[in-house]
Amino acid sequence: MALEYFLDRSIDTSIGHELHHSLESFRAYAWEIEIPDLPGLYGQLVGTPKDRLTLACKQVSQIGFTVDDIEAHRVNEKFFYPGKPSPDEVTVTFDSLIKGDIARALFTWMRTVYDPVYGIHYGGITGGVAQGLLEDAFAFKRTVTLWQLDAHRNPRMHVVLYGAYPKSWKLAEFNYSTNDFHTIEMTLRYDFAVQFTDGDPAVPAGALVS
Q: Reduced to 3 DSSP states, what percent helix, strand and coil does the chain have, rounded to the nearest 5?
A: 10, 40, 50
Is the separation of the CB atoms in 124 and 118 below 8 Å? yes
pTM: 0.75
- Digits of tens for pLDDT over the chain (210 positions)? 445 555 555 555 565 555 556 667 888 888 888 887 665 554 443 444 445 556 678 899 999 999 999 999 999 999 999 999 999 999 999 988 887 678 888 888 888 888 888 787 764 444 434 444 455 445 678 889 999 888 888 888 899 999 999 999 999 999 999 899 999 999 999 999 999 887 766 555 444 443
For residues 168-178, one letter each, b for 16 or more C-beta atoms within 10 angstroms of the residue's C-beta and e for the rest, the string is ebeebeeeeee
CATH class belonging to 25-67+77-204? mainly beta
Decide if 93 contacts 180 (C-beta within 8 A).
no
C-alpha angle with apex 44: 40 to 50, nearest 5 degrees? 75
pLDDT in tens, 82-139: 999 999 999 999 988 887 678 888 888 888 888 888 787 764 444 434 444 455 445 6
Is-contact 122 25, C-beta < 8 A? Answer: no
